[in-house]
Amino acid sequence: MTKAKLTARNVDVFYGDKKAIDDVSIDIGNGVVTAFIGPSGCGKSTFLRTLNRMNDTIAGARVTGQILLDGEDIYDKEMDPVALRARVGMVFQKPNPFPKSIYENIAYGPRIHGLAQGKADMDIIIEKALTRAGLWNEVKDRLTDAGTALSGGQQQRLCIARAIAVSPEVILMDEPCSALDPIATARIEELIEELKDRYAIVIVTHSMQQAARVSQRTAFFHLGKMVEYGETSQIFTNPREVRTKDYITGRYG
Amino acid sequence: MSNTWQSPAMIKRIARRHAAERRFRLVGLGAIVLSLLFLAVLLFIMLKNGLGGLDWEFLSGSDATNADAAGVWGAVKGSFLTMLVTLLLSFPMGVLAAIYLEEFAPRNKWIDWVEVSINNLAAVPSIIFGLLGLAVFINTFNLPRSSPLVGGLTLALMTMPIIVISGRNAIKAVPPSIRNAALAVGASEVQTVFHHVLPLALPGILTGTIIGMARALGETAPLLMIGMRAFVATPASGITDPSSVLPMQIFLWSDEIDRGFVQNTSAAIIVLLMFLLAMNGLAIYLRNKFEVRW
């Protein structure tokens, strides 16, 4: 792998006294899709949320160790979590558009960061974000409609467009397809494939088939530890660890 | 097996269940009819006694010693000014307190104690607030006795905890996914609250506020303590002038020996009920207007 976009070293996460993540070190590359797999409660979503400091908003959550974004420590005092989250976007399990129009959903991020000079500029940003998220042709004639009136799959692509609109470098996806039907899931997976050249993408998924389809690298988490990390093809065909093998062959999880 | 379902015992059993169903509906309907009946009787008596006195002279006049000359305008204006002071104070204070407690306050013993205190404050008998108003606003700060200013301040103390509690519930009802969505595109916590959480919570906050205000509008006891029971023959021209308020005017007239005041009392009650009806109507209107459809 070329130079890592995100580098985590000896990361522990605590919820109160409970250790949710135990000594995880990982390099996440640019231009590839990295999948986190593992049984429920293994800590993969918790670890994902350390990468854009969303855990900061949970009372009692504490992160130790070091996480670097392009060599910058994201838990440094100098690092502003607000600016960080614009650089490291996130898409959630359940589509969560704002109860506003499609246009306003996407305009919100660029507006608070002052990325657009005037309405014409904003229109361009919106069209670009929706086009990249593969939603433009479906919604271009009804940008003023409520974002919540779209179908589940469209809503999730709207959320991806919303994340893209603030020009992030990394996109974190926390089980983005678990609330979607197979057709909508396929659309999102195609989209991930299209987006991976521009962004470092990290996806948490319960579906091993999905991890195998969309990712180039896979990390297997179990009981708060990262058990194994490597090329997706190697993890699925020739895992080094017994626990990884047991999981991907359906022995548990 | 099918015999079980066709046996006379089973048929009887099912019939009994249907009968119980019908009985419950009747009892429930009865409960509603009974409670509405009280309202109907109240309205009937008030309209019968008071409608005759409800003319322009009554609506535009002020209190007088003579029942025929007495009007309700002074009290209406006093109530309006008092409510204005109450609203301007308790709404921003209550909403800000609710936002802080719900979204920003750390979870510790001290905040628990604040929460318990606010809940207790909402349950304190209103006469105690009157005593507090007398001691603090009039005796300590020397604000003018009997004025809508002091009345409004006192009622604001009483209304604030109601707004805090209803505000917190409304804020709590906003799904966390909306907060996540805003934070994830790089909104700060304050931006998240003011751009997304507060607008979604607003209908609930407004409903709670208006219910609190309606309660304050009908409140008499605390105003007794701060001297708003004086005979005031000229409507207040500002919030520092002595004034009466509607419920107090009703109380004062109901105490008069002159029979002419019976009609005045009922007419004033009709005016107060109209006032309350208008406020509740406003609450429903605002809730529908700001309600976000998902």
Instruction: Give ipTM to 2 decimals.
Output: 0.91
Cα–Cα dist A1/B65, whole Å: 96
Collect contacts of B42-45 with beta carbons under 8 A, ≥24 apart: B43/B273, B45/B266
Of B179, B184, B292, the CB nearest to A85: B184
Residue A204 has a CB neighbour count (10 Å cut-off) of 25
- Are the beta carbons of B186 and A98 separated by less than 8 Å? no
Q: Beta-carbon neighbour count of residue B130 at 10 Å?
A: 25
Transcribe A135-151 into DSSP letters.
-HHHHTT-TTSBGGGS-
**CA B81/CA B18 separation, integer angstroms:** 56
Nearest Cα to Cα of residue B75 among B220, B258, B282: B220
| Chain B nearest CA to A144, separation (Å) | 15
Written as six digits, the tokens of A159 are: 């959320």
Kindly tell me if the per-residue pLDDT of B293 is higher than 70. Answer: no
For residue B13, pLDDT beyond 60: yes
Q: Looking at residue A2, what is its pLDDT?
A: 58
Q: What band does B148 get if pLDDT is binned at 50, 70 and 90?
A: very high
Q: How far does the CA of residue A72 sit from the closest CA of chain B (Å)?
A: 18
- Total Cβ atoms within 10 A of residue A222: 22
* pLDDT tens column, B57-92: 888 888 888 888 888 999 999 999 999 999 999 999
DSSP A169-186: SEEEEESTTTTS-HHHHH
Given a cut of 80, whether residue B294 has pLDDT beyond it is no
Task: Give the model's confidence band at B14: pLDDT under 50 very low, under 70 low, under 90 confident, else very high.
Answer: very high
Cβ <8 Å between A162 and B187: no
CB contact under 8 A, A166 and B186: yes
| Helix or strand (DSSP H, E) at B101 | none
Cα–Cα–Cα angle for A91, A93, A99, rounded to 5 degrees: 70
Contact A32, A156 (CB under 8 A): no
N-term to C-term CA, chain A = 30
Window 26-45 of A, Cβ < 8 Å to B: none
Helix, strand, coil shares of chain B, percent, nearest 5, are 75, 0, 25
Neighbours of A79 (CB within 10 A): 15
Q: CA A26 to CA A45: how far, in whole Å?
A: 15
- Judged on CB neighbours under 10 Å (0-12, 13-18, 19+), A108 is buried
Do residues A169 and A139 lie in contact, with contact meaning Cβ atoms separated by under 8 Å?
no
Inter-residue contact A201 to A195 (CB < 8 Å)? yes
CB A163 to CB B177 under 8 A? no
- β-sheet bridge partners, residue A220: A37, A228
Q: How many CB pairs under 8 A join A and B?
A: 69
How close, in Å, is residue B109 to chain A by CA atoms?
14
Residue contact A59–B106, C-beta within 8 A: yes
**Beta bridge partners of residue A64, listed in sequence order:** A12
Q: Which residues contact A179 (CB under 8 A, 6 or more apart)?
A: A93, A94, A95, A152, A156
- Would the CB atoms of A108 and B294 count as touching at under 8 Å? no
Give me the pLDDT at residue A166, please. Answer: 94
Give bridge partners of residue A89 from the DSSP assignment: A171
Q: Does A176 touch chain B (CB under 8 A)?
A: no
Q: How far is A106 from chain B (nearest CA, A)?
A: 10
- Tell me the mean pLDDT in the region B143-151: 93
- B212: closest CA of chain A, how far (Å): 28
Mutate to test the interface with A, among B180, B185, B192 (most CBs of A within 10 A): B185
What is the mean pLDDT of each successive set of 10 residues along chain A, which is 253 residues long?
84 92 94 93 93 88 93 92 94 95 96 93 96 94 94 95 95 94 93 93 94 95 94 94 90 65
Name which of B175, B178, B186 is nearest A109 (Cβ-Cβ). B186
Q: Which pLDDT score is estimated for B164?
A: 96
Residues 6+ apart with CB under 8 A from A216: A32, A33, A34, A231, A232
CA dihedral of residues B240, B244, B248, B254 (deg, nearest 10)? 160
Do the chains contact at B178 and A98, CB–CB below 8 Å? yes
Q: What is the pTM of this model?
A: 0.85
- Residue B197 sits at φ, ψ, to 5 deg, of -70, -50
The residues in B 159-178 lying below 8 A from A, measured between CB atoms, are 175, 177-178
Query: pLDDT tens digits, residue range B157-185?
Result: 999 999 999 999 999 999 999 999 999 99
Q: Assess contact for B158 and B129: CB atoms under 8 A.
A: yes
Q: What is the pLDDT of residue B288?
A: 86
To the nearest whole Å, the CA of A232 is away from the closest chain B CA by: 28
Query: Can you tell me the distance from the alpha carbon of B11 to that of B4, in angstroms, rounded to the nearest whole number?
Result: 9
Give the model's pLDDT for residue B63: 87
Structure tokens that stand for B174 in this block: 């906003």
The tokens of B155 are what?
Answer: 């009622």
Q: Which of B177, B188, B200 lies nearest to residue A92, judging by beta carbons?
A: B177
